[in-house]
């Protein structure tokens, strides 16, 4: 009989062998089965018992069910998964994540989490130095969207010192961000009570980078109309094109108008690790806060996102509340709950620390370079094939293209239904284009050939269609 309870003295949990079996079944499927077994939600409900029963089942039965669910899940570690800005699996990071789950620490105090708090501190400072914050700090959040939330919230509170205590005074605060930014910027402004109308979208150049001249004009115009600009958000690695806003030029504007400078490097922040491509982030040291998702290009399991601040003490200033039932031992410096928007908080740092222990700065630099090489290599395939049109030269690790005259959305959906690959589409210059993200460093040239050939082959079976919107 499988047991799940903490074993008593002299007993051993039998959970581990069954879990390993399940993991092997999954690894096997990742190599041999399609990236995703296509089923409609109705078919899925018929295939797997998902309803909560009146009476419980045996551990064996639940483990069988878990295996059914695992094998029915789209496989993000498959070499045919190009759909999202994360993919693949780093074994050591996954092992560390399992360890973190078994430890079940909450990251709010040193008393509860011990060394993990020190690991979080080390990572925040190390990542800060990579973006040019010599004396900064960082805290893990549940994802890039919420790291952006934290950055924008600090910007708002620094602008209006009374806001934390008295709430927003109703003045028209404005934030400036590229027209190609991530939707979390608008969402966060709505969540912060500033409203979406606070978001001023700034035009981009032909490479998808925010134009500093347009930014300056927009700020001047808004000030004349009574707005109070409080924040500029620059994107490092836009979601579709992977473009990098020119940070140095934007920093000049931020300094000119005295506004907070946040960088959304959720996707592209990891490029700071590569000596070859780091220039994309030139000027990051002039920003005030920086979002960096390690679960994207760095390949560790979701979620693993950090909000970095250039100055130490800001996180505590803007997130701390007193709670005598929680913060009882040690100095606040070690009680990370006073720096976080959460109370109970999962341990997202151990997996990144373990992967970094294994790869070192050097190994991570090679990994990031490889992603850029894969994207470049795939773009060459697209350019060479007369049936395809490359939308733009890749700015980083995304490739956007069309199979000329064939509808991009239908191509992606057919690939999914035929279980050949998972890839998505986006909008570039008013056209619906396929966006392939190269974020799995384990993919090789043969995988690229296979993905590309299948995609074009499937496209050729489809009716013609126009991708213009």
Ligand X SMILES: Cc1ncc(COP(=O)(O)O)c(C=O)c1O
Q: Is 267 a residue that touches ligand X (CB under 6 A)?
A: yes
- Minimal distance in Å, beta carbon 426 to ligand X? 11
List, as one string, the DSSP characters of 17-69: HHHHHHHHHHHHHHHHS-S-----HHHHHHHS--SPPSS---HHHHHHHHHHH
Closer to ligand X by CB, 264 or 288: give it.
264
> 3-state DSSP: the chain helix, strand, coil percent, rounded to 5?
45, 15, 40
Rg (CA), the chain: 24
Q: Are strands 173-178 and 199-202 parallel, antiparallel or unpaired?
A: parallel
- Minimal distance in Å, beta carbon 233 to ligand X? 10
Q: State the Cα–Cα distance between residues 435 and 428, nearest whole angstrom.
A: 10
Whether 181 and 233 have beta carbons less than 8 Å apart is answered as yes
> What is the x/- site pattern for ligand X, positions 70-109, by CB under 6 A?
---------------x------------------------
Helices (H), 385-444: 408-417
Residue of 271, 213, 201 whose CA lies nearest to 242: 271
> What is the x/- site pattern for ligand X, positions 32-71, by CB under 6 A?
----------------------------------------
- Minimal distance in Å, beta carbon 412 to ligand X? 17
Q: Is 156 a residue that touches ligand X (CB under 6 A)?
A: no
Q: Is 270 a residue that touches ligand X (CB under 6 A)?
A: no
Closer to ligand X by CB, 132 or 144: give it.
144
SS3 207: coil
CA of residue 99 relative to chain centroid, distance: 22
Q: State the Cα–Cα distance between residues 274 and 366, nearest whole angstrom.
A: 7
Q: State the Cα–Cα distance between residues 156 and 152, nearest whole angstrom.
A: 6
SS3 208: coil
Q: Is 235 a residue that touches ligand X (CB under 6 A)?
A: yes
Q: State the Cα–Cα distance between residues 282 and 277, nearest whole angstrom.
A: 10
Q: Is 293 a residue that touches ligand X (CB under 6 A)?
A: yes
Residue of 182, 247, 250 whose CA lies nearest to 213: 250
Q: Is 182 a residue that touches ligand X (CB under 6 A)?
A: yes
Closer to ligand X by CB, 163 or 422: give it.
422
According to CB under 6 A, which one of 109, 157, 174, 239 is a site residue for ligand X?
Answer: 239
- Minimal distance in Å, beta carbon 395 to ligand X? 12
According to CB under 6 A, which one of 120, 158, 249, 264 is a site residue for ligand X?
Answer: 264
Q: Is 308 a residue that touches ligand X (CB under 6 A)?
A: no
Among the listed ranges 61-69, 141-149, 152-160, 427-435, the one in contact with ligand X (CB under 6 A) is 141-149
Whether 354 and 363 have beta carbons less than 8 Å apart is answered as no
Closer to ligand X by CB, 18 or 209: give it.
209
- Minimal distance in Å, beta carbon 100 to ligand X? 18
Closer to ligand X by CB, 85 or 458: give it.
85
Closer to ligand X by CB, 269 or 407: give it.
269
Among the listed ranges 92-100, 232-240, 385-393, 447-455, the one in contact with ligand X (CB under 6 A) is 232-240
Q: Is 289 a residue that touches ligand X (CB under 6 A)?
A: no
- Minimal distance in Å, beta carbon 239 to ligand X? 4
Q: CB neighbours (10 Å) of residue 341?
A: 17
* CA torsion through residues 453, 457, 458, 464, sign: positive
Q: Is 398 a residue that touches ligand X (CB under 6 A)?
A: no
Q: State the Cα–Cα distance between residues 380 and 68, nearest whole angstrom.
A: 40
Q: State the Cα–Cα distance between residues 213 and 88, nearest whole angstrom.
A: 39
CB closest to ligand X, residue no: 144
According to CB under 6 A, which one of 305, 396, 398, 408 is a site residue for ligand X?
Answer: 305
- Minimal distance in Å, beta carbon 280 to ligand X? 13
Residue of 286, 295, 300 whose CA lies nearest to 96: 300
Q: Is 266 a residue that touches ligand X (CB under 6 A)?
A: yes
Name the E strands within 295-396. Answer: 305-309, 388-390
Residues 6+ apart with CB under 8 A from 458: 411, 414, 415, 418, 420
Q: Is 234 a residue that touches ligand X (CB under 6 A)?
A: no
Q: Is 184 a residue that touches ligand X (CB under 6 A)?
A: yes
- Minimal distance in Å, beta carbon 131 to ligand X? 15
Q: CB neighbours (10 Å) of residue 74?
A: 15
Among the listed ranges 56-64, 158-166, 233-241, 391-399, the one in contact with ligand X (CB under 6 A) is 233-241
Residue 412, preceding peptide bond in cis (omega within 30° of 0):
no
Q: Is 143 a residue that touches ligand X (CB under 6 A)?
A: yes
- Minimal distance in Å, beta carbon 289 to ligand X? 13
Count of positions on this chain that bind ligand X (CB under 6 A): 16
According to CB under 6 A, which one of 83, 105, 145, 309 is a site residue for ligand X?
Answer: 145
Degrees to nearest 5, angle at CA 98 with 97 and 104: 90
Chain residues that interact with ligand X, rule: CB under 6 A: 85, 143-145, 182, 184, 235, 237-239, 264, 266-267, 293, 303, 305
């Amino acid at each position: 009989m499988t047991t799940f309870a903490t074993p008593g003295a002299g007993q051993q949990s039998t959970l581990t062998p069954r879990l390993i079996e399940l993991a092997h079944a999954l690894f096997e499927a990742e190599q041999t089965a399609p990236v995703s077994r296509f089923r409609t939600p109705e078919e899925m409900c018929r295939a797997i018992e998902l309803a909560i029963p009146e009476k419980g089942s045996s551990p064996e039965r639940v483990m069988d069910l878990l295996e059914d669910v695992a094998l029915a899940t789209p496989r993000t570690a498959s070499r045919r998964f190009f759909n999202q800005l994360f993919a693949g699996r780093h074994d050591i990071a996954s092992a560390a994540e399992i360890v973190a789950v078994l430890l079940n620490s909450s990251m709010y105090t040193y008393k509860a989490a011990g060394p993990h708090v020190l690991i979080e501190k080390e990572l925040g400072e190390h990542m800060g130095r990579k973006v040019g914050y010599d004396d900064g700090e960082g805290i893990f959040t549940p994802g890039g969207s919420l790291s952006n939330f934290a950055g924008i919230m600090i910007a708002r509170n620094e602008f209006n010192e009374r806001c934390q205590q008295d709430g927003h005074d109703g003045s028209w605060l404005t934030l400036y961000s590229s027209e190609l930014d991530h939707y979390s910027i608008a969402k966060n402004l709505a969540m912060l009570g500033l409203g979406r109308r606070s978001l001023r979208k700034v035009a981009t150049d032909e490479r998808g980078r925010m134009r500093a001249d347009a930014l300056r004009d927009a700020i001047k115009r808004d000030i004349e109309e009574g707005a109070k600009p409080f924040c500029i958000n620059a994107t490092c690695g836009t979601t579709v094109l992977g473009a990098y806003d020119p940070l140095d030029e934007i920093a000049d504007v931020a300094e000119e108008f005295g506004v907070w400078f946040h960088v959304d490097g959720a996707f592209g922040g990891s490029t700071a690790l590569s000596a070859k491509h780091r220039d994309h982030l030139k000027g990051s040291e002039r920003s005030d806060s920086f979002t960096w998702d390690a679960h994207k290009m760095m390949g560790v399991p979701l979620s693993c996102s950090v909000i970095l601040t250039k100055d130490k003490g800001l996180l505590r200033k803007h997130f701390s509340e007193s709670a005598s039932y929680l913060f009882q031992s040690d100095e606040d410096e070690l009680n990370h709950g006073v720096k976080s928007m959460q109370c109970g908080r999962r341990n997202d740092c151990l997996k990144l620390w373990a992967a970094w222990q294994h790869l070192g700065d050097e190994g991570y630099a090679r990994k990031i370079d490889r992603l850029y090489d894969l994207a470049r290599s795939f773009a060459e395939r697209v350019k060479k094939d007369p049936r395809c049109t490359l939308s733009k030269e890749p700015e980083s690790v995304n490739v956007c293209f069309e199979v000329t005259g064939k509808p991009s959305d239908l191509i992606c959906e057919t690939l999914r239904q035929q279980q050949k690959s998972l890839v998505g589409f986006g909008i570039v210059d008013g056209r619906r284009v396929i966006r392939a993200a190269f974020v799995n460093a384990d993919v090789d040239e043969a995988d690229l050939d296979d993905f590309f050939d299948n995609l074009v082959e499937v496209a050729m079976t489809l009716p013609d269609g126009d991708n213009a919107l």
